[in-house]
Amino acid sequence: MKIQKINLIKNILMPGLLLALLSGCAVKQVARHEEGLAIIPAKKPVSEFVRSDIVYAIDAYDPWEGFNRNMYVFNYYFDKYVFLPVVDAYEWIMPDYAEDRISGIFKNIGELRNFTNNLLQLKGKKTAITTGRFLVNSTIGLAGMYDPAAKWAMPVQKEDFGQTLGYYSVGAGPYLVLPIIGPSTLRDTTGFVVDTAVHRAVLDCALDDVNNKSKVQAGISLLMSIDARHRTAFRYYQSGSPFEYDLVRMLYLEKRKMDIAK
């Protein structure tokens, strides 16, 4: 009997108490409003704060964002647990002097890509400078181990096939994060494939009379990849930004625009 009375009191009193509490909150809100503490609505539209002449990170064409973000995370783990340990071992074994000479050789080989794409873009002066750089550094610079051309007013004229496509008004297309390689676009991925094919063709011709050519090619390609990562200062998730993916995407896309425009 007592239990029934308690339940009856709960059923009657609890809704009343709840109603009283809600009423009290409403009274407090009204009181705050009267004291001038209410939220003031915006006096200016968003359009006055978001400028149409600025490209924001969110404006990037990234229809494959889900895939790209997953690939970005994969690249982080691959870089941390596979690539960087190999690079660290390479840096530990090789003296700094030897590292610089190897980097110079690979940079000199990269002049063939620069030459081809400057020529395709009909940039006569840059093509001539690149030709001069390759000849000087391949001879006096001992296959590129040294860079006397830079001291003789022949700076690097870096171009790739992605830039060549952009030069002829081919759009960047969707943003794309490639495995291991990192940020790219559909246009730049096409350019990378073409540049890689040309590089392999040249290397194949250069090693035509070498025994076990395929193994030598694989070894050179591996060493070139290690050297490229060794010369790249970027480290995943060390930017200090909680939106690193968006930041890297924006910086990459803006840099490629500048590369093509120069």
pLDDT digits (tens, 9 = 90+) for 185-194: 999 999 999 9
Does 73 lie in the same domain as 9?
Answer: no
Give the domain extent around 17.
2-41
Does 126 lie in the same domain as 75?
Answer: yes
Does 159 lie in the same domain as 199?
Answer: yes
**pLDDT classification of 25: cutoffs 50, 70, 90:** very low
Domain count, the chain: 2
Residue 51 placed within a domain: no
Does 76 lie in the same domain as 21?
Answer: no
Residue 138 placed within a domain: yes
Does 200 lie in the same domain as 85?
Answer: yes
Residue 55 placed within a domain: no
Chain segment 223-240, per-residue pLDDT in tens = 999 999 999 999 999 999
Does 78 lie in the same domain as 35?
Answer: no
The Cα–Cα gap between 119 and 141 comes to 23
Does 154 lie in the same domain as 237?
Answer: yes
Looking at residue 20, what is its pLDDT? 47
Between 209 and 217, the higher pLDDT residue: 217
Say if residue 157's pLDDT is above 70.
yes
CB 174 within 8 A of CB 185: yes
The Cα–Cα gap between 165 and 127 comes to 17
Does 158 lie in the same domain as 29?
Answer: no
Does 94 lie in the same domain as 155?
Answer: yes
Q: Which residues of 199-232 are buried (b: 16+ CB within 10 A; e: fewer)?
A: beeebeeeeeeeeeeeeebeeeeeebbbbebbee
Say if residue 102's pLDDT is above 60.
yes
Between 79 and 16, the higher pLDDT residue: 79
Q: Which residue has the tokens 């193994």?
A: 215
Residue 57 placed within a domain: no
Residue 54 placed within a domain: no
| The pair of three-digit structure tokens given for residue 219, joined into one six-digit string | 């070894």
Looking at 124-185, list the stretches that DSSP marks H as alpha helix, in order from N- to C-terminal side. Answer: 124-139, 148-151, 161-167
Does 94 lie in the same domain as 22?
Answer: no
Residue 128 placed within a domain: yes
Rounded to the nearest 10°, the torsion over CA 165, 177, 174, 157 is: -20
Neighbours of 51 (CB within 10 A): 9
Does 160 lie in the same domain as 36?
Answer: no
